[in-house]
Amino acid sequence: MELVQQYSGIFHIILVILALLTICCLIRAVMGPTIADRLVAVNMMGTIVMVIIAVLGLLMDEDYLVDICLIYAMISFLAVVVLTKVYTGVYKEHRERLEKKCREEEKEE
């Protein structure tokens, strides 16, 4: 515990930097030019939040925050998997529509 008190200032600086990085990832998730950029940004935000929770657990000497961090990791992983599945389905549907449209145009000619 003494070591944590000695490095308390560094941990606070790390928390501020992680908060700024989370905001940057949020901006990328909103403005990202592609869906892949958005998925990576959401995944990165989940990872940063897990690190923030772990550092807070260390600073506050609360062991249950590590358990919350692990649960959050599982939820974040599932969210990224679901978002990827949805994106893949939308992409396949869009590709099938384009192929159908191309076939119809070829038949008309």
55-67: pLDDT as tens digits: 999 889 888 998 9
67-93: pLDDT as tens digits: 999 999 999 899 889 988 888 888 888
25-57: pLDDT as tens digits: 999 999 988 888 888 999 999 999 999 999 999
Closest CA to 37 of 50, 26, 49, 53: 26
Asked whether the beta carbons of 25 and 44 are under 8 A apart, the reply is: yes
Q: How confident is the model at residue 23 (pLDDT cuts 50, 70, 90)?
A: very high
Q: How many CB atoms lie within 10 A of CB 59?
A: 17
Per-residue model confidence (pLDDT) at position 1? 65
